[in-house]
Amino acid sequence: MTGPTLVLDGSAIDDIAGFYAEINRVFMANEDWELGPSLDALDDLLYGGYGALAGHASATVHWTHIAHSRAALGVAATRAWLQEKQAHPGMFNAAGIATQLDALERGVGQTYFDIIMEVFAAHPTLQLRTD
């Protein structure tokens, strides 16, 4: 795969806000704006066209210390993220969030880390390397 190799420092990711801070550090360093904390925004970013991916048909993302990130973006962070959404029922699907929380508590739901990995996997022009 050609294109740049971008290195995410997983040891810098201690929560969801830290994940987006690291994404902005790596992908948006030469931009005058930052990506907000949104899975949709992350998905849009990974399509390319701006930031470090602008002008490249493909790229490699090397995510170091991924075990640290997996733990930081695990059940506790996901629960807090879903509960924050649940606190705004007019903005989010309350029933859907309750279902997600229930699955998470039963140990069968996706964590925020799992969702991020799905977002990356949906972009075949990106090769994700981990350690």
Closest CA to 19 of 80, 63, 76: 63
pLDDT for res 53: 96
- pLDDT above 70: residue 1: no
Confidence band, pLDDT 50/70/90 cuts, at residue 131: confident
User: How many whole angstroms separate alpha carbon 129 and alpha carbon 63?
Assistant: 6
Distance separating alpha carbons of residues 103 and 6, to the nearest angstrom: 33
Strand order in the sheet with 59-64: 5-9, 59-64, 126-130
Domain spans of the chain, in order of start: 1-72+113-131, 75-110
Give one word for 64, left, alpha or beta, with left for phi > 0 and alpha for psi -120 to 50.
Answer: beta
Alpha helices in the chain (DSSP H): 16-27, 39-46, 66-72, 75-86, 94-105, 112-121
Q: Is the whole model's pTM more than 0.85, yes or no?
A: yes
Q: Give 59's pLDDT tier (boundaries 50, 70, 90).
A: very high
Does the domain at 1-72+113-131 match CATH 3.30.370.10? Answer given as yes
The tens digit of pLDDT for each residue in 76-105 reads: 999 999 999 999 888 999 999 999 999 999
CA distances, 106 to each of 35, 98, 102, 103 (Å): 32, 12, 6, 5
Quick one: tokens of 75? 């059940």
In this prediction, residue 2 carries a pLDDT of 75
Average pLDDT (118-131) is: 96
